[in-house]
Structure 1
Amino acid sequence: MPNELVPVEAEFAPPAQPPGARDRHISGETAEDLKRATAANTERAYARWWNMALAWCEREGRTPLPMTAETIAEFIGYLMRSTSQTTGKPYSPASLDQALSAVRTAHFRAGFEGQPNSRAARDLIKVHRQDRARDGWRPRRAKPVTLDVLRLLLAQCDTSSLSGRRDAAILVLGYGLMGRRSELASVTIDQLTVSDEWVTVFIPMSKTDTSAHGEDIDIPRAIAPDIDARAIVSSYLEGLAEHGVTTGRLLRSIDVWGNVGASMTGETVNEIVKRLAKDAKLTDAERMTAHGLRAGAPTDAAERGVPVPFIAEHGRWSKNSTQVLTYVRPADRRRNNPLLPRDNRT
């Protein structure tokens, strides 16, 4: 059974093509390069869903490539009635959306023109969302690390140790960049510029800059009167230099003796934020993740009345993205609440 998202030599291959079909053939090497155009996390998720689809089709005696509208609908229906082996809980509507995207991507990469008919599958996902809502389910989102929470997390960082200085740098850079954890893990020392009033980070590529033109993101030295981003980042850089580390990845593993090791992954960045939240004894520490750093700064900016386009540009969200609005709308609703006395509105 193939275990690739779109295997080159698949057991379920498309029908034989007529003469001249070679003009529409993509080699295995090119297919692998095309995969790299998708974010690594998304690629892994797509591969997992596609493998599930292949296994389900084999059990059900259905053809995965190409899938009929009925087969796609039945696969989504099967997922609706299933539970995740990882969490033991039913799959969320967002998970079903991702599974459907994985199936559509598999067809595209296998060379099928057009997309399989997924109208019925999408209707099923809508029904699933409605059923979950009636049962009291609501999407779980990472708690935004706003400035008040950021202060509590920074207080857990032992700045007498290099690992503590690294953790503090993770917090201020994650907040200041409105950064994805993968972006934080990828920052190199030579992409940092520290001046009197700014910490500037060059982001060579992001989800909204897939052509990799790169852009500088400026973080003000004082992201709050009592939080000096420049001092925090400079202290960590000086500590790395004392260990002979002046190039390569910024965020490094550091053992209990203070020895600097290899670069960190985005998952390790996430674990550090979760540990700091637990150490701070936050009541909702289980909801605190590295994504909260990305969510916290736009939440604070919206409270100050910063226009959405400026927030989206700084955080490298697409101009058409609705994700940034999930952080902005709560602040707008509070500020413009129709029940507030006029004098209390800003």
Structure 2
Amino acid sequence: MGSELEPVHQAEIVTELPAPRTNDEHLSGETIADLKRSIADNTDRAYKRWWRMAITWCEREQRTALPMTGQTVAEFIGHLMRSTSTTTGKPYSPNSLDQALSAIRTAHFRAGFEGQPPTRAARELIKVHRQDRAKAGWRPRRAKAVTLDVLRLLLAQCDPNSLSGRRDAAILVLGYGLMGRRSELAAIQISQLAISEDWVTVFIPMSKTDTNAKGEDVDVPRALAPDIDAGRIVALYLEGLREFGVVDGPLLRCIHARGAVGKGMSAAAVGEIVKKLAKAANLTDAERTTAHGLRAGGPTDAAERGVPVPFIAEHGRWSKNSTQVLAYVRPADKRRNNPLLPHKPRT
């Protein structure tokens, strides 16, 4: 009886790996375009600005932009630390330097240099920049949280008899109720909206934390407060749109001077509406009252009521480990659990 193991002929032994083919590291134009769409438009535009700045700096300093060495990246970040923004006239913040670093890594990835360039030295420099600013007395200026009290003042500036006033009121209650990003508000389609007896439900097809675009329904209570009926506010706006024959497409629309309904609004336009209302309401720190303040207002009020962080994070589509949502929750927690508050006797 022969062995079950047959001998291997010498010719079958592979002694050399085949040479790589020229197409193995090639990406088609279509694939590159799809990869670019993986980054939000606003972020992509910012990345392109930083990358253009990096290329210009490299040319001036006679350094190679692609691929960069770790030393070149560190020198560029060091240059930004000592520079001022041509847009704001102020020194670049550590967050801006973080974004510049992300832009450089993204440019390298798109060019086929995955995992490059080394960034450890650059990140250490950004840490030093944060420490220097803290020692100089700098404090972060966050958007003013639009809590319910502020929301009432802004709603008072919205004319319910005009379509633009109804739209502005809808922006406010949906921004607060969804804890929504400007981009999410601008992207809402009429077909994604449902109003029931107790809820205004909005389908969010994708978000920054839903990178696989599974989508989710977000329920906003109609009664945001006893005197704020979100369902009625949104329904009045939809009724006004129907009078102009608008029954589908973008929910938030540009309203022309003569009252005609235009195309959908951009995220930037949503932000301008909130700024305009804050100015009209003569709010303290009106310049800090932005659309992001609507996103911050809901978590702030919820934290004051003692709602657990995971529920707040889930509703607002933050990562469970998000430091941003904690920035809204921690002040309320600190006040509620302050060790110097008068002791309450047990009952």
TM-score, normalised on structure 2?
0.92
1:130-186 per-position Cα deviation (integer Å, ceiling 9, x unaligned): 111111111221111000000000000011111100000000000000000001001
Residues 287-328 of structure 1: per-residue CA shift (max 9 Å, x gap):
011000000000000000000000000000112211110100
Q: Which ranges of 4 or more aligned residues in structure 1 deviate by more than 3 Å?
A: none
Kindly indicate whether residue 306 of structure 2 is the aligned counterpart of residue 305 of structure 1.
yes
Separation in 2, partners of 1:344, 1:179: 40
- Aligned sequence identity (%): 77
Cα RMSD after superposing both structures: 1.3
Residue matched to 1:82: 83
Alignment of 1:39-58 (within 5 A): 39-58=40-59
Task: Confirm or deny that 1:336 pairs with 2:340.
Answer: no
Alpha-carbon distance in 1 for matches of 2:322, 2:268: 24
Q: Match of 1:130?
A: 131
Unaligned 5+ runs, structure 2: 1-18
Instruction: Name the count of aligned residue pairs.
Output: 328
| Counterpart residue number, 1:3 | none
How many angstroms does 1:344 deviate by?
Answer: 10
Q: Which residue of 2 aligns with 1:200?
A: 201
State whether residues 67 and 116 of structure 2, in contact with CA within 8 Å, keep that contact through their aligned partners in structure 1. Answer: no
Q: Which moved further from structure 2: 213-222 or 252-261?
A: 252-261
Larger Rg: 2
Cα-to-partner distance string for 1:260-283 (whole Å, 9 max, x where unaligned) = 111110100000000000000011
Match of 1:324, SS state, is: helix
Deviation string 1:207-233 (CA, Å, 9 cap, x unpaired) is 111211110000011011110001100
The answer to whether the aligner puts 1:150 opposite 2:151 as a matched pair is yes
List runs of 5+ in structure 1 lacking aligned partners: 1-17
CA distance in 1, matches of 2:109, 2:170: 41
- Helix, strand or coil: the match of 2:142? coil
Matched, 1:217 2:212: no
Structure 2 distance, partners of 1:114, 1:190, is 42
* Equivalent AA in structure 1 for residue 64 of structure 2: T
* Matched position secondary structure for 2:254: strand
Please give the alpha-carbon distance, in whole angstroms, between the structure 2 residues aligned to 1:84 and 1:43. 19
Q: Secondary structure at the match of 1:342?
A: coil
Q: Which amino acid aligns with 2:160?
A: T
Opposite residue 183 of structure 2, the aligned amino acid is S
Aligned to 2:110: 109
Tell me the CA shift for residue 28 of structure 1: 2.2
Distance 2:22 2:290 in 1: 49
Is 1:269 the counterpart of 2:284? The answer is: no
Deviation at residue 22 of structure 1 after TM alignment = 1.7
- The alpha carbon displacement at 1:21 in A equals 4.2
Contact 2:194 2:201 in 1 (8 A): yes
Q: CA deviation at 1:113?
A: 3.7
For residues 85-133 of structure 1, what are the alpha-carbon distances to aligned partners after superposition, in whole Å with 9 as ceiling and x for unaligned?
1000000000001101111111111112423211111111111111111
Q: What displacement does 1:20 show? A: 2.1
User: What SS class does the counterpart of residue 98 from structure 2 fall into?
Assistant: helix
Matches within 5 A, 1:1-346: 19-343=20-344
